[in-house]
Amino acid sequence: MTQETKDFAFLHFIVLIWGFTAILGVMIDLPSVEMVFFRTLIASVGLLVLVYFRKKSFTFHRRKDYLVILGTGGLIAAHWILFFLSARVANVSVCLAGMATCSLWTSILEPIAYRRKVKAFEVILSVIAFIGIVVIYNVEFDYFLGLVLAVISAFISAWFTVINGKLTKRYDPFVITFYEMIGATLSIALFFPIYLQLEGVSGLALSPTLADWGYLLILGLVCTVYAYSYSVKLMQRLSAFSVNLTVNLEPVYGIVMALIFFPETEQMTSGFYLGTGLILTSVLLYPLINKAMKRKALETDNLR
């Protein structure tokens, strides 16, 4: 098994963990924004302890990198907040359909960041994955505002993924994630006054039950400290596009686990299998096409 194959297998495991966040979201009896606040706060503390005991340096070579990474944390917070707002003003189906444009945005933003041409096959695979999400949820685009919020959230997600792809070339992924979670926590705290002005929000729910704390610890430590940090680490070898394309499988894994945990309320239709097939096709084709393109480029260089 090649290193690339191992990396993709591990990435799928990480996406499986992220799919479990939907289950935790049902189990945790807190509004979405407060839940994300506790998630990033717990992740910040967990990463502080982890980085300290791994004896990694908390310092960066350049001062401006502190602002860049803290700002990236703000982007992560904005992504999560817009994601939940989209689901609130529309529904989960429209939200996830909009989020499926993430890999499409990445196929455009990553070439800009690395000053290379946009790869047509990446754009095509992104569109296939997007169609797959639409088919799974049988989305009717009647919720324009919710869709716009989700697409903006997807754009932000693509943006910070590309940034992380460049940062991992210089710094430890766990240190990067530590500062990003601090930035995300501070950003959400600054968002609270705006959040309180939203319709239907009467106050902040900042007193989790004992059961909520247990689920929040899993969400913050397993789904964020472990899964998110290692996804950043994987970008030392995998492109931001390949990561975001694979993340399109998150709702698929989430639906399967929801069927296991909540069989009485969840069911899978024929559209689920068709949509999953489209997403899997795009995800599985990417490494094959990418490898063929690299081999062709190498052969061309050898002929010169």
Segment 211-244, tens digit of pLDDT: 999 999 999 999 889 998 899 889 888 888 888 8
69 pLDDT band (50/70/90 cuts)? Answer: very high
Least confident interval from 38-47, 91-100, 171-180, 258-267: 258-267
> Chain-wide mean pLDDT for the chain?
83
pLDDT in the model for residue 74: 93
Angle at 245 between CA 153 and CA 95, to 5 degrees: 35
How far apart, in whole angstroms, are the C-alpha atoms of residue 304 and residue 292? 19
Residue appearing with tokens 């959230």 = 153
Instruction: Encode pLDDT of 185-202 as tens digits.
Output: 999 999 999 889 877 788
Cβ atoms 164, 232 nearer than 8 A: yes
8 pLDDT band (50/70/90 cuts)? Answer: confident
Token pair, residue 63, equals 């001062």
**Cβ atoms within 10 Å of 188's Cβ, excluding its own:** 25
34 pLDDT above the threshold of 70: yes
The arithmetic mean of pLDDT across residues 119-139, rounded, is 80
Q: Please give the C-alpha separations between residue 193 and each of 41, 187, 197, 202, 207, in angstroms, as whole numbers.
A: 18, 11, 7, 12, 18
270 pLDDT above the threshold of 80: no
